[in-house]
Amino acid sequence: MMETMKRKEAIERLPVIKLEIDYELLTLYDAMQADDHVQMIKSKERLEFLRQQMNEINNDK
């Protein structure tokens, strides 16, 4: 039963992750325009983390 609840919560989180990815892509674009290398690295790391979360959820379906 707990596994089912975890799976449901993860699936409900997908739209939130997608919004976070969109926001982080915008942040990365702004950093690229400003030539802000520190923010570019942070955004890329955050995007990688979000990608991994999304893949875990999609693989558990």
Distances (CA, A) of 11 to 6, 27, 52: 9, 25, 14
Interior angle at CA 41, CA 38 and CA 46, nearest 5: 125
Banded model confidence at residue 6, pLDDT cuts 50, 70, 90: confident
Tokens read off for 25: 């892509």
Tokens read off for 2: 């707990």
pLDDT higher than threshold 80 for residue 61: no
Summarised one tens digit per residue, pLDDT across range 32-60 is 999 999 999 999 999 999 999 999 988 87
- Tokens 């923010």 correspond to 39
